[in-house]
Each structure stands twice: as structure tokens, then as C-alpha cells.
A and B are shown apart, each in its own frame.
Chain A
Amino acid sequence: MTTITEMLFDFILEDKAMHMATLMELSPEKRQAVVGRKGKIIVTGPQGGVFIVRLTPVGIFREEDDSDLRNEVLMDYDTLREIIIWLAQLGAPRDLKDPGLDPRSAYANGYIRISGDKVLYDAEEIFAAMEKHAFMKMQPIAKHALEAMRKADKKDE
């Protein structure tokens, strides 16, 4: 059975136009530095999943083998859910009862673990690029994902 996290990542990975648009916004120097990087994202929990992805000049693609990984990002499903809630409310008045959690705060709070040889540099690069170029573009996906998450919650109840 496909988990909520897998559905979400399928959504994100499908949108190659968004990947390309984000890549084109980066400076040539930065683009050259990040293209080719490969990372592993692990979301724990029954609705989680494991994804190995590589950034290529034409977008982000899923891969199978986990050799040559630059970073591993680990979080639980609840953290991902909080981030999705936060993303879904970007640019709109925030629900004070359920504002979600921005990724940088989740990282500072210790809910997101990143491993690698240059974690500070990589984390800063990832967060800054997402904040500047990707979060607003991901907002519609986050809204869809949030609906799916809420439906799944109701089923579980």
C-alpha cells in the first residue's frame, strides 16, 4: 500500500517543471555545485517512506542504490506533517491553533536529523534554496498533501 509520504513525494517528483524552474533561479555557480548531488530522505512511521533522490540538470529523480550519498535526512511522519501544514499556510493568515512547523525550526528543535561530511553547509544551502526558491512553489502540493493526510487520519479513526 502506498503511504501518505510516498504519495507526497510522488507529487513532488512528478513536477519536473517546478524542479527546472527552481534550478534556473540559482546562480550558475550554485547550480553547477548542486547538480549531481544525491541524498536519502527517511520518514519514519507507518505512513513514512525511504527515498533516494538525485538532482540532475532536468530535475529530481528517484534512484535505487544508496552509494555515493551526500546527505541523509531523517524525520518522523509527524514532523513531515507539521511541515506540510506550515507550507500549506504560506502566504495566508496562519491558523494559530495549528500553525505547523517551518523546516528550519524543525531542524533546530532536533526533529530533522541531517548527516554528511558538511552538515552545516549542506543544511544551510538546502534551507536557503528552499526558502528563496521552492517553498512557495510547493504550497499547492502541500495543500493537496494535507487533504490526503486528513482523509487518512479520518480513516484511521
Chain B
Amino acid sequence: MDAVAPTLHKALGLGEAPHWEVNAAEQMIIPYQMDGLYVVTMASHYGENPAVLWDEPTLIRAMRELNTLVKWPQLDYLFLDSPPSSSKFMQELYDCLSDLYGIVLVFQPSDIAVADLVRTIDFIRIKRAPVIGLVSNMAICISPKGERFWPYLSPRVDIGSVCEEHGIPLLGEVPLTPLQATVDVVFDKIADRIKNTKPKVLTDDLATRLCKAIARRALEAVIRRLE
């Protein structure tokens, strides 16, 4: 559901976005099938290169149509990939999902990304949408020789404590690395945790969160003094 910069086909290793096939009799869009996955991406509709300059009402209408015009087969799960945003588009998206099982947040542990994360968590809380947990993406860099380092200028944030503060399980930390086997192990663990975690609606209010944050900072100050 990345409405203006869809790249799902790239993530799936497809050279170009597959064409949308349509069912003329039922006037519906047929998902592209690959290895048991059924895929629909807006890149098929726009083409690969053009900038998408649709206004928000047009995007919202397209999203609503996509929700009803795709002829999905019997599915075990439907995954929706969406950007972290509290735009009108995202508000409408949450409003039109009637049977959302849970949200997996994927964020980089840098201070800029975490600022977005906190806003996204607040948005999800307001929408009372169930959360499964958070995946820390590009959490650390691992070189081909196995050296671990933080590769960005932006300061690293302890995303575990952010999760703890907001009552969200940390599902795993995906490293930035060319070592496929290392990533595979992490992905397997994340998949297991997703399967075994019951989604929960975040109900904590702003006042409670502020109190928790103040209490944590006070504790940190006491520890610093003791040191």
C-alpha cells in the first residue's frame, strides 16, 4: 500500500512490476502469483518510473478500490506494506480494514527514525489497532569478516527501551550485512516470535507514558549520582 513509491516487486526480486491481469467478466484485478504468494503492487498500475502526483482524495479512492477490486484466492494471511505516516491516507486505510490481525512495525534504530516511530505508535494507539511487535531493521552493520559496527552518522537509539516504554515486544534485530545465513537465522526467529505473539491494542494514555518516562529518567539520574 505504498501509494506513491511502490517497490514491493523489487523486494520480491522481480526485475519489473508484473502487469495487472484483469478478470473482464467480474471486472476485478487478478493478483500476480509467485511461489504461493499472491502479489498486488501499485507499481504495476503506474509503471516503473513516473512520479505519482495524485492528490490525497484520489489516492484514498484508489486505496478503497484496491480493497474491493482485487480477486484474492483463499488466503492464509494478507500482508499490507505501508509507510510510517499519520496522513489522511493512512487514517482512511486503517478505517477501511475491518479484520486487521496485527501490525508489525519495522524501524531503524536511529534517532530520526525513532522520532517517526514514536509518532506512529501514537497513531496506532489512537486508531486502537492491534500491534504484534517491532522489528529493528538495519540494527547494526556486520562486515563480511564479522566485524560489528554502527555505520551511520545519526546516533543509535536503544530501541529495546523504546519498545519497553511503549509496551511493544521487540521481535528481532535485522543486521545490515551481505551475510545471507546471518540474516536467515534472524528472519526465522522473527517469524517464530510473530507466530507466538498475541497482538494487543495499546491503550496506555499520554499521561501514563509521560509518568513512566519521567520515572525512568529520575532513576537514570539516581544511578548516575551513585556512580
Q: Which residues of A contact B (CB under 8 A)?
A: 27, 29-30, 32-34, 102, 104-105, 107-110, 113, 118-121, 123-125, 128
Contacts and interface: CB of A to CB of B under 8 A. Distances in A.
A84 to B, nearest CB: 18
**Binding site secondary structure of chain B:** loop
B99 interface: no
B53 A110 contact: yes
A102 B47 CA distance: 10
Given A108-B46, A119-B62, A120-B29, A125 B53 contact: no
A124 B20 contact: yes
Contacts of A32: 24
Contacts of A128: 19-20, 22
Interface of B: 19-20, 22, 24-25, 27-29, 45-47, 49-55, 58, 61-62, 65-66, 69
B7 to A, nearest CB: 15
Contacts of B51: 108-109
B50 A124 contact: no
A152 to B, nearest CB: 28
A29 B24 CA distance: 6
B215 to A, nearest CB: 50
Contact of A120 (B19, B53, B69): B69
